[in-house]
Amino acid sequence: MKIDLSLGEKSYSVFIDELQEIKLKGKVAIITNPKVGGLWLDFLLQRLKCEQKFIITIPDGEEYKNTASVEQILEKLFSSKLDRKSTLIALGGGVISDITGFCASIYERGIDFINIPTTLLAQVDASVGGKTGVNNRFGKNLIGSFYQPRAVYCESKFLSTLPAREFAAGVAEAVKMAVCFDGELFKFFETHDLKSADEISHIIARCVAIKADVVARDERESGIRAALNYGHTFAHAIEQSTNYTRFLHGEAVAIGMSMANALARRLGKLSGEQEERIRAVLQKFALPVEFKIKDIDAFYELFFLDKKSENGKIKFILPDGIGKFSIADDIDKAAVIATLREFA
């Protein structure tokens, strides 16, 4: 299956279960981590045709998505004498996708890169759309760029080696899209356990199609694309307050959606029954929905470091029922604090 993302000269395709051969000119550097490399690097090397290949491995984990890893990658690219005709390939999950794309965007002012996501989270979300970046001590993805890949290859076979916890983290991002854009997809999560390859491929294809449509309409997140951050304003604060070590990103998003849902219910945008349906789906896939906030005021202040905040106003993406969303930057602080107290 092929899904096209229309962005003029930056258009590209997302291929689902069609990775037979990749032919590239010039040098190619594959960025991966030890775990993914051990499982799937040979699979890729057998299908990659190019002049010269280099393998760059960085440690696994969100805590390594930083400028130190960027420096490590760039150092190896320069020492290997890659040039503007070279290509980077991201082989891994969301961290690898984000950091490889960022390195591609700044190396010699920009070279091509290809995403080959190996986690469900990266296949349904992170690898498509051109958001790249790294974290720093002030917050998540605050250093980065919008830089589109030349192609994305999603292979469902990669998920066969994915730990259950990592798979569930990807489900969280898929549920996010369903709640905001597709009520029928949400019902699919309610009625299916995602145990079969066909069910998983359906989820991947539908989420990629949603993401492709949204990005084509709003590449740089000036409007509708912000809806893809449902749950993320809260999630990023959770991740930062736990030093990116306690939760996988998708797990933090699941909790963040629960917090956003509580705020939406308080504002009359989500009924208690709808809130419980979303909670039930998240729990069905063993995702966390609770988090104990130790310092509510400090947690609230973390929202202002979120990239969606503008002119000192926090932008919240909230469900408007199931299948629709709303974006608001004028929510009274008291309502937000009262919501956070539900998690204290």
Distance CA 255, CA 276 (A): 13
Q: Is the pLDDT of residue 271 over 90?
A: yes
Is-catalytic flag, 131?
Answer: yes
For 151-194, the pLDDT digits (tens) are 999 999 999 999 999 999 999 999 999 999 999 999 999 999 99
Structural domains of the chain sorted by starting position, each given as residue range(s) with its CATH number in brackets: 2-161 (3.40.50.1970), 164-192+212-341 (1.20.1090.10)
Residue tagged active-site, from 62, 173, 219, 251: 173
Is-catalytic flag, 220?
Answer: no
Mean pLDDT for 207-222 is 93
Residue tagged active-site, from 62, 155, 221, 239: 221
H or E stretch covering 11:
none
Band of pLDDT at residue 146, cut at 50, 70 and 90: very high
pLDDT of residue 308: 67
User: What is the pairing mode between strands 52-57 and 131-136?
Assistant: unpaired
Band of pLDDT at residue 206, cut at 50, 70 and 90: very high
Residue tagged active-site, from 232, 265, 269, 307: 232
Mean pLDDT for 5-34 is 96
Is-catalytic flag, 206?
Answer: no
Q: How many CA atoms lie within 13 A of 83 on its CB side?
A: 5
For 229-253, the pLDDT digits (tens) are 999 999 999 999 999 999 999 999 9
* Alpha-carbon distances, residue 226 vs 229, 288, 335 (angstroms): 6, 23, 21
DSSP code for 126: I
Average pLDDT, the chain: 95
Q: Is 218 exposed, middle or buried (0-12, 13-18, 19+ CB in 10 A)?
A: middle
Mean pLDDT for 27-45 is 98
pLDDT of residue 307: 66
Q: Is the pLDDT of residue 311 over 80?
A: no
Is-catalytic flag, 232?
Answer: yes
Residue tagged active-site, from 76, 131, 150, 315: 131
Angle at 177 between CA 334 and CA 183, to 5 degrees: 95
pLDDT of residue 173: 97
Residue tagged active-site, from 76, 140, 206, 236: 236
Mean pLDDT for 220-233 is 92
Mean pLDDT for 119-139 is 93
| Length of the chain, in residues | 344
Residue tagged active-site, from 33, 115, 229, 261: 229
Mean pLDDT for 127-156 is 94
Residue tagged active-site, from 27, 65, 176, 225: 225
Is-catalytic flag, 135?
Answer: no
3-state helix, strand, coil in the chain (%, to 5): 50, 20, 30
Q: Is the pLDDT of residue 285 over 90?
A: yes
pLDDT of residue 38: 97
Location of structure tokens 């309502």: 335
Residue tagged active-site, from 2, 109, 137, 294: 109
pLDDT of residue 313: 85
Q: What is the pTM of this model?
A: 0.90
Residue tagged active-site, from 211, 265, 269, 308: 211
Is-catalytic flag, 315?
Answer: no
